[in-house]
């Protein structure tokens, strides 16, 4: 079921979500759609169906890029938003990866202690371990996949910060800013398609703190400029 259905469905839904996120960013950040990288825009029917299934508070998705003052020049604010996106996602994945590996370690310790407490024979212990090992292996694998994604995001974030620093020292070239933003956005789209999922519950728990950090980062960057 995992190989033939769950994994394939997950990859398909990730691409749909990446396209919708790309369309959102292109609208908010005022960038042209790059069909060479993202392909055709997602059908309006798909977006409408997702919107009608949404049953959470609408205010939770308003003001997505927090901490950007209205007085900030758009090319600079756009770069700061993209850098914020990468920082937010990297922090989220690092913390989620840590939770996963901690969960795997706890499960292993509980299994071992339980086996000793019950005085299980080796064959009985092996049978129990074989039952729970897929979940432990999944957590370990996801831990490393999340860390790999976080490292890639941090590399892209570093490139955004280099350009922001060059803008600070050399001045603002709007055409160059737009070009760099489009390049960053293409990389962001490709990361969104390839990234492993983060469980929604974990995301909701972490979102408040990560948004505060993102706002502090945006304030610092725009204040320097």
Q: What are the pLDDT digits (tens) for 116-142?
A: 888 888 888 888 888 888 888 989 999
Average pLDDT over residues 179-199: 90
* Sign (positive or negative) of CA dihedral 162, 164, 168, 169: positive
Rounded Cα distance, 19 and 143, in Å = 25
Q: How confident is the model at residue 225 (pLDDT cuts 50, 70, 90)?
A: low
pLDDT at 146 over 60: yes
Contact 145, 201 (CB under 8 A): no
pLDDT at 114 over 60: yes
Average pLDDT over residues 76-88: 89
State pTM to two decimals: 0.85
């Amino acid at each position: 079921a995992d190989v033939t259905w769950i994994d394939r469905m997950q990859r398909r839904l990730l691409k749909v979500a990446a396209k919708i996120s790309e369309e959102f960013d292109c609208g908010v950040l005022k960038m042209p759609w790059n069909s060479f990288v993202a392909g055709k825009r997602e059908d309006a029917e798909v977006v409408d169906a997702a919107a009608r299934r949404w049953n959470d508070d609408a205010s939770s998705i308003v003001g997505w890029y927090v901490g950007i003052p209205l007085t900030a020049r758009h090319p600079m604010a756009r770069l700061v938003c993209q850098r914020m996106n990468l920082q937010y996602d990297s922090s989220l994945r690092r913390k989620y990866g840590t939770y996963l590996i901690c969960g795997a370690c706890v499960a292993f310790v509980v299994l071992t202690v339980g086996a000793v407490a019950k005085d299980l024979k080796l064959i009985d212990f092996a049978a129990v371990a074989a039952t729970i090992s897929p979940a432990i292996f999944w957590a370990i694998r996801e831990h490393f996949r999340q860390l790999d994604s976080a490292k890639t995001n941090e590399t892209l974030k570093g490139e955004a910060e280099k350009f922001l620093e060059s803008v600070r020292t050399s001045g603002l070239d709007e055409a160059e800013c737009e070009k760099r933003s489009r390049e960053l956005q293409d990389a962001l789209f490709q990361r969104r398609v390839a990234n492993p999922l983060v469980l929604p519950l974990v995301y909701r728990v972490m979102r408040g703190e990560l948004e505060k950090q993102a706002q502090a980062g945006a304030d610092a960057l725009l204040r320097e400029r």
